[in-house]
Amino acid sequence: MYRRRALSQVVQIRNAALTTWRTVPQLPSYLHDDEQCRPYNKQTRRHFKNFGHKPEPMPLFTKLWYSFVFLGFIGLAMDWKGMRKKLFPKVDAVSQLADNGKDAQQTGHEVAAEESASGDDVGDDGKKKKKKEKVGFRDRKIIEYENRIRSYSTPDKIFRYFATVKIMSENTTLIFMTPDDFLRAITPGMQQPDGLGLDQYKRYDPKNHDENVHVKLELALDEDSIFYKLGSSGLITFSDYIFLLTVLCTSRRQFEIAFRMFDLNGDGDVDSEEFEKVATLIRQQTSIGSRHRDHANTGNTFKGVNSALTTYFFGPNMNQKLTIEKFLEFQHQLQREILSLEFQRKGPDENGNITEADFTELLLAYAGYPPKKKARMLKRVKKVFKDNAQGISRDDYLKFYHFLNNINDVDTALTFYHVAGASIDQATLKHVAKTVAHVELGDHVIHVVFTIFDENLDGQLSNREFVAVMKNRLLRGLEKPKDTGFVKLIQSVLKCAKETKPALLDI
């Protein structure tokens, strides 16, 4: 009985399913018309987008933007000044005035007036001065990179980067610096010539030119130059480079003390062995010597003072004594030679003078000022001496550097004035230079110095900033540590951690 009941239920379910499947739903009356069914059919139709992956047309705004960017890059590389000169040449005022029958004197005045009106710099004699080329973005980045090399690299890398001469021989190859290379290696902001850099040199074969090395390499040195005492025809080896840096960054007072320390018999003179000890001691105290490590793979190893210098100091038989006076005279001649090279690189005029702005750049070369502050000082100097420019002669420049050699005593004298409440004006600085440094500074040089360091132009000198900058200028920034300070920071942190560790760690 239960089986029959279950079978009947299955049959009923099957019949209900068949009835539902056979039943066709009736569409509404408004959908029977074909015209009314077309929107319905259109909505159910499938569409294809970007069939075949055809490229879409570029919008007009995008085309204009790409064109603007492309033309902008092209415009940066074009010489607009040259194109302007070709398209709009300047009118020759001299020929026009000659055609009008003007005399020669009036012609000169008119030409000078027109050149000054056009914005060119004109000297007192009516001659047009050469404008300085602007430093581009690429050159600025290269100069910044080279300044970092001067500040933080080892002496070996600095020498390999700024040296420009490779002398080839049958058995050996030697790398040399010229005096200009040496000056470039210690002066911030002086760019290395294009094509010369790290391990890139000018090759020279002295086989047939032993007597004309300085002519072939274009060494503009006087016959009595201190660099000829180094031997090698005025060229500088790596050992000479280390020795010259040691001499430049060490004060006279330190050399006097070192000579007295190793003067065993008390006569004030040292022999060759004692001088070697003096040079080693001084070199280890400088930042240059402490950073140097011999690199045999590059050939830059310190071999001591060369034979030419030892012959100059102790004679050909090495039996003479070196006095402190003779060595300090050598230091003075070296400093004077470097100063003369610096002065000549600024391009003196026909009277042998450089501009006040060039003198300012020489004084601030080692100040470490931000570019904006340095530019503000230069702008102030150019503005003050725009109409009454006299220039700075070579003798004035050398006298001022002699004044810097006594900067420590000058600092003491200026501090006394400051403590006493007296103002430091131009007359005071001139008096201090005469009484302390025993040098007569010109009024124009003192005026330029006050213009540089007198921010508010009140006629008073900020002696603290002036003395700090002049001390860096005297030693050329060579006494600064050649690292970023990160290692010292880590060492200080570790030392502080050891000293302040918890008491639980002592168990």
- DSSP string covering 51-74, please? TT-PPPPPPHHHHHHHHHHHHHHH
β-pairing verdict for 165-168 and 202-204: parallel
Which pLDDT belongs to residue 280? 83
Give the DSSP letter of residue 269: E
Tell me the HSE value of 304 on the side-chain side, using a 13 A CA sphere: 9
Task: Tell me how far apart the alpha carbons of residues 111 and 106 are, in angstroms, rounded to a whole number.
Answer: 9
Tell me the HSE value of 164 on the side-chain side, using a 13 A CA sphere: 17
354, β-bridge pairs: 392
- Reduced to 3 states (helix: H, G, I; strand: E, B; else coil), residue 456 is coil
Q: Amino acid identity, residue 88?
A: F
Intervals of the chain under pLDDT 70: 1-3, 14, 16-54, 85, 88-133, 205-220, 232, 264-268, 289-304, 306-307, 479-487, 501-507
Do residues 231 and 237 make contact, with C-beta atoms less than 8 angstroms apart?
A: no
Which pLDDT belongs to residue 109? 42
Which pLDDT belongs to residue 355? 92
Q: What are the residues whose beta carbons fall under 8 Å from the beta carbon of 45, sequence distance 6 or more?
A: none
Which pLDDT belongs to residue 100? 42
175, β-bridge pairs: 166
Which pLDDT belongs to residue 356? 92
Residue with tokens 């010292």: 488
- Reduced to 3 states (helix: H, G, I; strand: E, B; else coil), residue 300 is strand
Which pLDDT belongs to residue 387? 85
Residues 303/307/310/315 CA torsion (nearest 10 deg):
160
Q: What are the residues whose beta carbons fall under 8 Å from the beta carbon of 204, sequence distance 6 or more?
A: 165, 166, 167, 168, 213, 216, 217
